[in-house]
Structure 1
Amino acid sequence: MESELKTLILKVDKLMEIQELILKRLNQSTILTKEPLVNIITLTKKEEKDKQIQENMLIILNGHRLKGQFNLVQKPSPEKILAYLQTNDPKIFDGMKRKEN
């Protein structure tokens, strides 16, 4: 059992040395890859139009519901509606709520 433990400790020490060497070399060099640095996703005109229609549907369907749900003074802007639907963060509507009496 002790011999197995010693061999395991030696292996871990060896791995730590190798990792340290790799990290030092990474700091000194640049890694070249075949993939482009930025992956640009372009949508076709039809896809852009479909996305815009989908966003407009979400804005229309959820505007009044969110106004009632969060007791807002007015219907939130389309940007706030989409931001809430993406994050589900009610802090987006801070400053728009009615004052409680």
Structure 2
Amino acid sequence: MNKELQELSAKIDKILEMQELILSKLSQSTILAKEPIIPTQKLTKKEVSQQKMDEFSLIFDNQHRLQSKFNLATVPQKNRVLEYLRTNEPKVFDGLKRRK
């Protein structure tokens, strides 16, 4: 019984050491957010137009795929498609789904 308690105590100590190591590594590292960091400098007209073209291609490529994937009655609007691509939340399409 005493030996088992010592083994358990050693395991708990090892877990606590690992937890301290993980927490120290976490405090030293940078946590990446899902949303990109907005640059402080203004974008040029060329960059703005390129960004809009990229968004348009994302919308065009994914709207029909998302319509069939989520069984939507209509093609989703561009803001809903972009929001889904940013967050991966299917509740963005609530209200557009077909009734069974």
TM-score normalized by the length of structure 2 = 0.60
Unaligned 5+ segments in structure 1 are 1-38
TM-score normalized by the length of structure 1 = 0.59
Equivalent in the alignment of 1:78: 78
Aligned residues: 62
Unaligned 5+ segments in structure 2 are 1-38
Report the aligned-residue RMSD.
1.1
Instruction: Indicate the percent of aligned positions where both proteins have the same amino acid.
Output: 45
Alpha-carbon distance, 1:42 to partner: 1.1
Larger-gyration structure (1/2) = 1
Q: How does 1:1-101 map to 2 (within 5 A)?
A: 40-100=40-100
Higher relative CO (CA 8 A, sep ≥ 6), structure 1 or 2?
A: 2
The Cα offsets for residues 19-46 of structure 1, whole Å up to 9 and x where unpaired, read as: xxxxxxxxxxxxxxxxxxxx74311101
Alpha-carbon distance, 1:59 to partner: 0.5
